[in-house]
Structures are given as structure tokens and as C-alpha cells.
Amino acid sequence: MLYLPANARYSMEGKYFDEAAVSILQDIILHRRDVRGNRFLSVPLEEAVIDQLLTAALHAPSVGFSQPWEFVLIRDEVVKQQVRNSFQEENSRAIPQFSEEKQPEYIRLKLEGIMEAPLNIAVFYKPSDKPVLGQTAMSEAGLYSVVCAVQNMWLMARALNIGIGWVSILDPEKVKQVLRAPSSNKLVAYLCVGYTDGFFTQPELEILQWEKRKMKEAVVFKEGY
Amino acid sequence: MLYLPANARYSMEGKYFDEAAVSILQDIILHRRDVRGNRFLSVPLEEAVIDQLLTAALHAPSVGFSQPWEFVLIRDEVVKQQVRNSFQEENSRAIPQFSEEKQPEYIRLKLEGIMEAPLNIAVFYKPSDKPVLGQTAMSEAGLYSVVCAVQNMWLMARALNIGIGWVSILDPEKVKQVLRAPSSNKLVAYLCVGYTDGFFTQPELEILQWEKRKMKEAVVFKEGY
């Protein structure tokens, strides 16, 4: 039963994926890692590769097809250093928030690769100036669309054997100043992107026993809580 | 140059993806659609398939490896109907927010598949009761981790030729009441999941010319705005 509103140009297709596609996607998902500074190689990324990452981002789902994303590509050392200064400030503020037991471990962790990664990408949410279909009851849906774009890029990067690290220990307002971003834009993600010397077999914080992996049974409910 | 903190058990591996993997991932990304009610088939989803979707979700990136997600699987018609009531209320509130020109088109759109999809998944953010690494400067990073889990599921569903529709026209507090969710949890996404009679070649709202696709040049900046 096709739903065909007047004056719509519709076309359906039967693009059908096989078991091999499922298996490859699962491998990409399971082998994706958050890559830190000490792993990045300084070799620059080819333009075609950056284009492939952006194409993945631009085909993310977005509420009301609003595509509310903007991407700033950063290679300039001076700009990177200014962003890194914000990381250092925020990271110093973070340390005392952890337990005395956790603090020495926290300090040992390398939590960003802003200078080491040949490319940084700041990802912004740009709010629409008119109402957005699907965003009237949950205004945060626009931000979530931008996160879907980040995750598409992250998986495409892994398929291309490129590492991405998401730096969230930053003052978003300082980063906006550095990049002269419009005041209504919101910084969603700051990504460090580059080839790496390898990928860990498990998340680094799992290997370091900072946190344990949660079991499916602990987080899946049926019909309600 | 390996970074090896004392007492860390490290293992790196050279899992290397080839061109074919890149091409398959790109196909999955480009063919993923937001699927509405009139496309879902009523055939139930196999448990193994639901498990595969959840495995994809649980391997999403999460800030500080906090894995702050919870999933409620819903098949009960009574529960679904209660959620759908919230959709209907919020959708009625949405209509007058659009221009007079857009309203007739908005009313014609089928924007959810709550009853038609054999499975609904409510996806929640569960805040941590202790400080989370990486979340000290940007508290929204936890919500974003949950969105990454949704996008992983969405892509895995597409590889399995299963449709997902994200319903955001809901009152999150009403959905929480229906599902008896803990008050500190936040509803991030409400997904309709099921086999479909096909996937559109383009996003439905693009075909209907509700919104235009943005060009890369319009949303990519270099070194700053």
C-alpha cells in the first residue's frame, strides 16, 4: 500500500544488503576506537579522503531533513594551539572532581590529540530560523542530528583506517571565539582526525579498567521499567 | 611510540579494512532512510536480529566509556497506543507553528509508525551518579553518546534490510510516565523498527521538496568562519 500524496515524485528501490555487508558493518562498529594524541601519525590526509568523511556526515539522518550541521576544518597550528589552551584549562578544572583514588590515573591519561592529529574538525549545530518538522516537541532533536553526522564520519574514518578522537574537555564558548563562530551556533563536537599507528583491540578505558563494560541484560528492559 | 602506563594490559591490532568495506559502508549510509508507518510490514523481528541491533548500539562510542544508555523494547499494543496518544497531542500542537503554505502539506505527512512497526525501542540517557571522564566541561556529552548508539543501530538495521523511524514529536515526560522510567532518565529517541516494503531512493522530505539538500560548500569552513 503506497502512500502517494499529490504532486510527489516517488521512487522506491529494493537495494538489498547481504550477510557480508552486515558482517563488515559489524566489524567496523566493533573496531572503531576513540584515538588519542599519542597514536596519530603526522602524515596529512588526502583531500579525497576528507571528502569521503564529509559525504558520510552529510548523509546522516536529520530531523525534518534540516541538516543543521556546519564543519570547520582546522590544520593551522596557531588555531589548534588556541583550542588546546582551552583543553588544558578545562582539564585542570576536571582533575579535582574525581576521587583521590582516581586522580593519579586521570592525570596519566592522554585525553586529546589536538596538536598531533593533522586535521581537527569542529562540528557545530546551526539552529534554523524557521520551525523544523519533528523539532517542535523536542528541541534537542537538531543537536542529535549533528551527533548522527559525527558518528557517520567516525565509522567511515574507521573503514578508511583513520582514527578519530572526540575531545569534549573544552569550553565551547572559547572554541567558538577562536573560530569566530556565529553566536547562535552550538559546538557539538571537536574531532582530532588522522592516520594512526594502530587501533586497540578494546576501548582504552576498558583496557585500563577505568570503567567496566556493561552487559546487555543490565541496560535492556521490556515494555517498561 | 607506545604510551604504556604502569599496570596497563595493552594490545594493539592491525585490523585493516579494504576498499570493499569502505564501499559497503558508504552504500549503507547512503541508503539509510527514516521509515514511516505506511512502509512497515507486520512480520515480527527475530530475537537474533534484535540482538544484533543492540550489539551495534552497545559498541557505540561513549564519553569516558560511561555507556549511559538504556533501551526499552515495546511490543505491547496498549503501551504503544499510549505513546501514540502523546504523538497525536504534540502533532496537533505542531501544525499551527508552520506557515499557512506549509500546513496542508504537513497534515498530509505520515510522521510515525508506532502502531504499524512490530517493535518500538525507547532509548534513554541514564546520568551517572559520579563524575564522568570527558563530561566535566560539556555535560551534554553523555546525551551525545546515546545518540551515537542510536545511529549505530540505525545503520545496522539498514544493513539487515530493516527500517527504523525516529519519532521526535512526543512529550518526553509522558513517554517516561507510560514506561515508568526513573525520573532522572532522559528520553533521547523513540524508534519504530520493522521490516519494510522498500526504501526510498532519497529522503522522503527531499522527494516531497519539503527541504532542499544542502551542498557541501555551504556547510564546510576552513580554519574558522
Contacting residues of B for A64, CB less than 8 Å apart: 205, 210-211
Instruction: Decide if A4 is inside a domain.
Output: no
Look up the CATH number of the domain holding residue B203: 3.40.109.10
Distance from CA of B76 to the nearest CA of A (A): 7
- Residue pairs spanning A and B at CB distance below 8 A: 360
Instruction: Decide if A24 is inside a domain.
Output: no
CB of A134 less than 8 A from some CB of B: yes
Domain total for chain B? Answer: 1
pLDDT score, position A9: 45
Does the distance separating the beta carbons of B207 and A10 come in below 8 Å? yes
Instruction: Decide if B118 is inside a domain.
Output: yes
CB of A175 less than 8 A from some CB of B: no
Say whether A182 sits in a helix, a strand or coil: coil
C-alpha cell at B218: 555551504
| CA separation, residue A219 to residues B4, B55, B151 (Å) | 32, 12, 17
- Name which of B9, B18, B24 to mutate to probe chain A: the one with the most chain A Cβ atoms within 10 A of its Cβ: B24
Measured over the CA atoms of residue A20, residue A22, residue A27 and residue A28, the dihedral's sign is positive
pLDDT score, position B5: 42
Residue of A nearest to B26 (CA): A56
Q: How many CB atoms lie within 10 A of CB A198?
A: 17
| CB distance B65 to A206 below 8 Å | yes
Contacting residues of A for B109, CB less than 8 Å apart: 5, 133
Q: Compare CB distances from B13 to A9, A74, A199 and report the shortest one's residue.
A: A199
Does the distance separating the beta carbons of B189 and A144 come in below 8 Å? yes
CB of B77 less than 8 A from some CB of A: no
Distance spanning both ends of chain A, measured CA to CA? 35
- Let me know if B28 is exposed, middle or buried by CB neighbors in 10 A (0-12, 13-18, 19+): buried
Mean pLDDT by 10 residues, chain A (225 residues): 42 80 97 91 94 98 98 98 98 97 94 97 97 97 98 97 97 98 98 93 92 97 98
- Pick the closest to residue B41 from B198, B155, B158 (CA basis): B198
Q: Compare CB distances from A25 to B13, B156, B166 and report the shortest one's residue.
A: B156
Amino acid found at A208: L
Q: How confident is the model at residue B15 (pLDDT cuts 50, 70, 90)?
A: confident
pLDDT score, position B13: 65
Instruction: Decide if A151 is inside a domain.
Output: yes
ipTM value for the complex: 0.95
Instruction: Report whether pLDDT(B41) > 80.
Output: yes
Over residues B156-207, the pLDDT tens digits come to: 999 999 999 999 999 999 999 999 999 999 999 999 999 998 899 899 999 9
pLDDT score, position A198: 86
Instruction: Decide if B193 is inside a domain.
Output: yes
Beta bridge partners of B153: none
Q: Domain range spanning residue A115?
A: 34-219
Does the distance separating the beta carbons of A26 and B156 come in below 8 Å? yes
| CB distance A120 to A80 below 8 Å | yes
Q: Compare CB distances from A30 to B10, B59, B108 and report the shortest one's residue.
A: B59
pLDDT score, position A38: 80
Residue of B nearest to A179 (CA): B224
- pTM for the whole structure: 0.95
Contacting residues of A for B1, CB less than 8 Å apart: 38, 197
| B 6-65: CB under 8 A from A | 8-17, 20-22, 24-32, 34, 36, 38-39, 51-52, 54-56, 58-61, 63-65
pLDDT score, position B37: 82
Does the distance separating the beta carbons of A151 and B223 come in below 8 Å? no
Distance from CA of A148 to the nearest CA of B (A): 6
- Name which of A9, A33, A65 to mutate to probe chain B: the one with the most chain B Cβ atoms within 10 A of its Cβ: A65
pLDDT score, position B141: 98
Instruction: Report whether pLDDT(B3) > 60.
Output: no
Question: What is chain B's mean pLDDT, rounded?
Answer: 93
Instruction: Decide if A17 is inside a domain.
Output: no
Instruction: Decide if B183 is inside a domain.
Output: yes
Distance from CA of B87 to the nearest CA of A (A): 9
CA–centroid distance for A62 within its chain:
15
pLDDT score, position B38: 79
Q: Compare CB distances from A166 to B61, B69, B75 and report the shortest one's residue.
A: B61
Contacting residues of A for B24, CB less than 8 Å apart: 17, 20-21, 24-25
Q: How many CB atoms lie within 10 A of CB A5?
A: 12
Instruction: Decide if B7 is inside a domain.
Output: no
